[in-house]
Amino acid sequence: MYKKYDAGRVCLYRSYTIADLCRLYSNQGLHPQTVRAWVKHGGLQAINAKGKLYIYGAIWKVYLKQRNKAKEIKLKLHQIKCLSCKVITEPLDSIIHKLDFSPSCGLQGDVACGHCGYRQHRYYKKSEHSKLKESFTVLLDETGLLYDSSTTPNKTHLMGGKKLTTSELPDNTSTPPNNANMLATQTNFLDLL
Ligand SMILES: [Zn+2]
């Protein structure tokens, strides 16, 4: 299993033996064999002094940071990582069944895995709302965020329960939010079903 080791535990200007490093990360159970394998096959630079390996703090830091970064999977907007089959795929038929606010105040889309069909939540940033509406068929949008393709994602604003004041509108030249248009679009999607 992949473990993320914190690069901040070593001093830049010190060298460490493998035993030193394993002590520093003993709470995560870093094993001397692991470090030796990194030196041998993983490109971690070490100094061999009379048969003993030393690793410079600065080198260790860079190595861990790169290693941690390489393991981070950044999903593209159209991708999901399925909680069931673990495959990175796209939502089935490009449909978001329901779009709503997530507990963390971002957005959550109710999607089905394009590979196995398993229904799950995929989380998005609030600023991705317009892009989501452009890229997917959103069957039910309960965010109350207004979709307007002419505004940038940052300019999306609330409608519905909250009353808009003049200062909250993007600017005076743009037309006010057109609820009728949005409702019409949603109805069209429903007609397609
Ligand atoms: Zn799946």
Indicate if 20 and 111 belong to the same structural domain.
no
Report CA 126 to chain centroid distance, whole Å.
13
Q: Answer whether residue 168 is part of any domain.
A: yes
First CA to last CA across the chain, in angstroms?
A: 43
Strand partners, 52: 49
Indicate if 138 and 102 belong to the same structural domain.
yes
Residue 177 CA to ligand 1 center (angstroms) comes to 37
Q: Answer whether residue 2 is part of any domain.
A: no
Indicate if 58 and 97 belong to the same structural domain.
no
Indicate if 30 and 120 belong to the same structural domain.
no
List the pLDDT tens digit at each of the 193 positions of the chain.
678 899 999 999 999 999 999 999 999 999 999 999 999 999 999 999 998 999 999 999 999 999 988 877 789 999 999 999 989 999 999 999 999 998 878 999 999 999 999 999 999 999 999 999 999 999 999 999 887 766 545 544 444 444 444 444 455 454 555 555 555 444 445 544 4
The boundaries of the domain holding residue 64 are 7-71
All residues with CB under 5 Å from ion ligand 1: 82, 84-85, 113, 115-116, 118
DSSP helix/strand/coil, 96: strand
CB 81 within 8 A of CB 88: yes
Residue 132 CA to ligand 1 center (angstroms) comes to 20
Indicate if 37 and 90 belong to the same structural domain.
no
Indicate if 119 and 58 belong to the same structural domain.
no
Best CA proximity match to 145, nearest among 108, 93, 116: 108
Tell me what pLDDT residue 155 has.
44
